[in-house]
Chain A
Amino acid sequence: MKKNSGILLILFCMTAVLLFAPLIQQNLKPFTFKKLSGYLEPAPKPSFSYEAYKTGKYQHLAEGFLKENFGFHDPLIRIYNQCTYDLFKTTSNKDVAIEKDGWLYHTESIRHYFGTMGSISGISNQQVHDNLANQALCLYKTNAILQEYGIHLLTFTLPTKSFVYPEHLRKHPIGDTTFNAATFLEKQLALYGVPHINMTPWFQQMQDTCPISLFYSKDSHWASGAVFAMDSVLRYMERLSGQQLTQLQIGTPYPVYKLTRHEADLEDLLNLARPLKHEPLYEYPIHYLSNKYTQRPTVWFLGTSFYWRITRRINFDALFSSRDFLYYTSIYYTNREQDYQPGYHIDLLHELLTHDFVVLFKDGPQLYHQGALFPGKFLINLCISEERQKEKINFVADSIIQAWDPQTYADSIKCYSQAEFLLQQNPEMFEELRGDSIPTCRNPRIEQILVEKKIRADRTWRFLLTAKANNDSLDVQKTFEKEAYNVLNNKELLRNHTFFTTYDYFDLLVKEALDDNCWHSDLCITKSEQTRNVINAIIEQAIDTVEKRIQQHAYDNDTLMMMACAMDKIVKGFEKEPNLVALREKAVKKQISLDKMFRDDVVWIFNTTNYDRRLHDDVLTQAFANYRTERKMRNQQQAMESIMQKHQDLNMPLRIILNRDIKWIQDHKQQ
């Protein structure tokens, strides 16, 4: 044997490199790798203190932190996972089960199927039974109260993949399959007459006849099944409200060749080094059928990520004028997936009362857990004032502190959250909510929220207050609340003190249309192809939409736009020579200026032609000023040529160009 040969030295040096590589990667990060999927509570970074070191806490934290943050952590985890998957078809992820034919299931879904949920949730079937019975009673009361305000509550239990596709499951330990939380809840809600759909049995039936898979093999959510589910929800909503809603026309399935990664959440969780093979995927084409009687209600969805599988297949803009989504207690999405805020801060009562529909959904395994107690929360917020709620929470928290082991509940915040949880779990702890009858007490804030809702429903009022908030740099929501307060207390309304021009109004309409349109990618594609500028195309599309709506009289007569249009007509009528002569005579008789006479007559005609709203003096003054500016511009050939040039260059409607120039002139005059 050669000793200390060159090769051995090289190998020794390579060993050193091998040992130091993670340290170098951790500190200098010369390589970047794809991040691992899934959510983990990140290990806290340890901070050294002698006390922490002495007790071993520092060492424990350091090992935990290193475990997640050493160099090459992510690729090494992927390599190991890939090896164990290829060799043994196993995963270290406790949330994912690799079953027959490469089908992946959420572990809880399997436990739900085999009746062993209690072994992981730590709650017995009897406890789940009692808890669900309680929730059903809360939903019954909530539904009755919401109906008083014309709001519809709809609940549904999501289909569980293991129940729909049990043929791909391996053998698992069997527990108590006599109790099924979803079936029990369905029966309870039917007993109380609360609108509810248990989708599992329906999906089980559909699975036999449907030509394509309702769930993807590598995802925990429904796939094309989402389309049928939404269709049934829509029909149910129609039945509840008596309104005609948009119809979904579901076509014949077409193959999808490119895998959409977000539809393989279970595969993502395996964190493998290379993607798995997928079965051929199919999707349904959807057409939206609507007419002038079709309503687009506002909806508030509360539930799980199954929601995203619907919105990725169905254009909600075609169905709802507004829809918000509370992803349980974590995130609140306003209309779009991109607009979100922490869900803990939302005003539950406000959200409940400002939508036409409240749609609550959970999946089967979730029914075994006691989190996200919305039924209790709803009922308490609808019936109990905030002050009383706080008082009760304090009372219960104090009882916990006294009754429980002080060491366990040393943290007072924990006590208060526990008190809140107990009250939401059992709202009957409030004397007012006891019994099976519908509570008669109401949260006093309801009245104000309903007035606010009315204000928001009135486009003109809404725009006026929005403009007021923008001009005065106020919080829009608070401005609405203040206006509602003014209405309830017969105080001077903010809208009467808002300076607002026709042109501002047009801009707001465009902005509103922009919000509506910019997510209609198909609407914008043609335009963007023409202009090669997506943003301009979207704006242009919005302007076109508003102009078309004006032509189709889509805006109600009480809007400022229609007022402005009516005023234009009247003024133009006076400009004709015979009318001007008559007007001059009248002015002489009344001994006022022609201008004043002109203005008075316009107001008289406007106010007597059945327009609901009388013109505010400020608005009228501004409208006349704008009109005069426009007339001057139209009389100047050079100005008009410049405007026509802009119209051609920018490829924008003439009205917009005119409005912008008028506004610019007005602003500069004021300055």
Chain B
Amino acid sequence: MVFSSNVFLLYFMPAFFLVYFLMPKKTRNYVLLLASLIFYAWGAPEFIIQLVVSLIANFFIVRWMCKTEKPVAKKWLCALSIIISMGLLFFYKYGNFTMQNLNALLRLTGHAPLQWTRILLPIGISFFSFQSVTYTLDTYRGVNPPLRKLSDYMLYITMFPQLIAGPIVRYTDVADQIRERESTMADRLQGFYRFVVGLCKKILIADVIGLCVDKMLGPAALDPSQVGDIMTRIATLDTGSAWLVALAYTFQIYFDFAGYSDMAIGLGRIMGFKFPENFDNPYTSRSITEFWRRWHKTLGAFIMNYLYIPLGGNRKGKARTYLNLWICFLLSGLWHGASWNFVIWGALHGLFICLDKLFLGKVMKRIGTVPSVILTFLTVNIIWVFFRIEDIGLAWTFVTRLFAFDFSGFALDGNAHFYSILVLAVLFSFITLTPFGRKAQTAVYSTDYTDKQHVFVWIIAALAFVFCVAALNATSFSPFIYFRF
């Protein structure tokens, strides 16, 4: 189930909040857990049992780990817990990818390929596996005591607002809130406003831009039979259209992901949870390093705390620091998807971060804010191509079209709606570079409204919610003039 679906917006969400708020406070966690399991079971019915079993196993392993006095045993139990979490992630997410490449290698070396039945990727596995790891490591490090109740642990991992697409909530951030939290009327309303902001980002901006991107580049998960057609289209694409498509995708992915995070944060806030922010105007960054401090912040924090620092961070010399950084981003790319294009995407980001550390960061500082923002944005924009186009040949052809300087035509079939939304997306992405923009953003995300302001904001939020539901259904409502024969 995704937030921007009718089942969620019109059935699940109203029904859940009705039951949640009608129940006594003590039982609300159980209601939330049950709803989260239903939420997950709706989208991944085949995986729910495995999820529950792995969570139970992990919970008891961690409890055992905390009770044991021997450091070696503690270490082994911690490792076992991480292996369970990451093992599931590796098996489901990278099983197909690994076997595909292994068989390709075997074929190259003249050996018979291994038999492998393709497995389906359970929804949200990348997020809840990481959360499970944070729980294990935070308790292992003694940052927080382990949860006493299995239900609380399961709730932390499976809480539906952040189950599928984050933010990756560290155990330490919500440990107290799971046990005890307060949700005032203002919190509930502000949560609703935040949810609507996210819904607008997703439905009114990302989805509209996405239509045009899909028209040019085909669906995100490309069928091998479609590659030929798309290649023909891309190979003849004029430079203007190519840049517009790349730009469109850059904004689509931002508003899509940021929208989803806003919705998650909003839903959490309605119940009294305060989830960490995931985005902070990433396209206004002046370097790739800064971009990663603003883009998917919870993932950045996770990599920093649970990968970069354990690898040695910057404590083992310059060369090792660069290597560590590069490994982190390579793995970050792989975390986004089990495909070589994601590896390239991560590797390129890692490369630019190393270059920042070497000299680029200083150069960017010297050239001033606007040029550095533009250059960083364009770099990110080009690197996104490898994220969007799974086939590396296609992605490379697309990148060559960006620099082909072919202005012979204009193939992009966009309408006024697309261009207007694209302009709005640009405006919203860069407005915080101005003082007015920063003020406006602070006002929108404010948590301190007066009653009058609440009334005003509520009316706008209610209208926006209605409009989003309308847009969600109207964009695909295309009746025929007559019956088709």
Q: Which residues of A contact B (CB under 8 A)?
A: 1-5, 7-9, 11-12, 14-16, 18-20, 22-23, 36-40, 53-54, 56, 59, 62-63, 66-67, 70-71, 73, 76-77, 79-81, 83-84, 87-90, 92-96, 106, 173, 220, 265-266, 269, 271, 304-305, 328-330, 371-372
Contact = CB atoms under 8 A, between A and B. Distances in A.
Given A63-B5, A77-B473, A8 B451 contact: yes
A3 B184 contact: yes
Contacts of A40: 477, 479-480
A38 B482 CA distance: 7
A296 B61 CA distance: 93
B319 interface: no
Contacts of A59: 1, 7, 42-43
Contacts of A77: 470, 473-474, 477
Nearest to A91: B478
A345 to B, nearest CB: 15
Interface core residue of B448, B471, B474 (most chain A CB under 10 Å): B474
A29 to B, nearest CB: 15
A4 B185 contact: yes
Nearest to B447: A1
Given A1-B449, A8-B186, A53-B45, A329 B485 contact: yes
B18 interface: yes
B481 interface: yes
B14 A95 contact: no
Given A1-B449, A7-B455, A56-B45, A22 B469 contact: yes
B13 A79 contact: no
A92 B186 contact: no
A87 B480 contact: no
B455 A269 contact: no
Given A7-B455, A16-B17, A88-B415, 12 more contacts: A4-B186, A12-B188, A16-B14, A39-B481, A59-B42, A73-B473, A76-B466, A76-B474, A80-B475, A84-B417, A88-B416, A95-B480
B292 interface: no
Contact of B474 (A92, A305, A328, A330): A92
Contacts of B474: 76-77, 80-81, 84, 92
B415 A12 contact: no
B189 interface: yes
Contacts of A305: 482
B479 A19 contact: no
A84 B451 CA distance: 33
A342 to B, nearest CB: 12
B430 interface: no
Contacts of B69: none
Contacts of B470: 76-77, 79-80
Contacts of A83: 467
Contacts of A71: 10
Given A14-B462, A16-B17, A269 B481 contact: yes
Nearest to B11: A23
B74 interface: no
A89 B185 CA distance: 41
Contacts of A5: 185, 451
Given A80-B474, A93-B478, A94-B478, A70 B185 contact: no
A39 B480 contact: yes
Contact of B10 (A66, A79, A89, A93): A66
B458 A70 contact: no
B189 A15 contact: yes
Interface in B8-50: 10-11, 13-14, 17-18, 42-43, 45-46
B20 to A, nearest CB: 12
B274 interface: no
B485 A328 contact: yes
28 contacts: A1-B448, A8-B454, A11-B185, A11-B189, A11-B454, A14-B458, A14-B462, A15-B462, A19-B14, A36-B477, A39-B481, A53-B45, A54-B46, A56-B45, A62-B7, A66-B11, A70-B6, A70-B10, A70-B473, A73-B473, A77-B470, A83-B467, A92-B476, A92-B478, A94-B478, A173-B411, A265-B481, A271-B477
Nearest to A69: B6
Contacts of A88: 415-417, 420
A371 B485 CA distance: 7
Contacts of B477: 36, 40, 77, 92-93, 271
A372 B43 CA distance: 42
A271 to B, nearest CB: 8
A273 to B, nearest CB: 11
Contacts of A328: 485
A45 to B, nearest CB: 15
Nearest to A372: B485
B483 interface: yes
A173 B411 CA distance: 8
A80 to B, nearest CB: 4
A72 to B, nearest CB: 8
Given A88-B416, A89-B416, A39 B462 contact: no
Given A14-B458, A79-B470, A269 B186 contact: no
A11 B5 CA distance: 24
B251 interface: no
Nearest to B448: A1
B450 interface: yes
Contacts of B192: 15
A95 B474 CA distance: 14
A92 B479 contact: no
Contact of A1 (B6, B46, B450): B450
Contacts of A220: 481
For the complex of A and B, the 5 pairs showing the least CB-CB separation, nearest first, are A38-B479, A76-B470, A80-B470, A80-B474, A19-B14
Contact of A330 (B448, B451, B483): B483
Contacts of B188: 12, 15
A90 B416 contact: yes
A115 to B, nearest CB: 16
B192 to A, nearest CB: 6
A372 B454 CA distance: 60
Contacts of A62: 7
Given A16-B18, A88-B416, A330-B485, A1 B466 contact: no
Given A5-B451, A92-B474, A63 B481 contact: no
Contacts of A93: 477-479
Contacts of B416: 88-90
B6 A67 contact: yes
A304 to B, nearest CB: 8
B465 interface: yes
Contacts of B223: none
Contacts of B413: 173
A95 B45 contact: no
Nearest to A76: B470
B151 to A, nearest CB: 25
Given A14-B458, A77-B473, A80-B474, A63 B189 contact: no
A269 B478 CA distance: 9
A19 B43 contact: no
B14 A23 contact: yes
Contacts of A16: 14, 17-18
A7 B184 contact: no
B387 to A, nearest CB: 26
A273 B420 CA distance: 22
A2 B416 CA distance: 44
B451 A79 contact: no
A337 to B, nearest CB: 15
A59 B479 CA distance: 23
Given A63-B7, A84-B417, A92-B475, A76 B469 contact: yes
B483 A3 contact: no
Interface in B156-201: 184-186, 188-189, 192
Contact of A39 (B18, B415, B467, B483): B483
Contacts of A23: 10-11, 14
A96 B481 CA distance: 9
A66 B17 contact: no
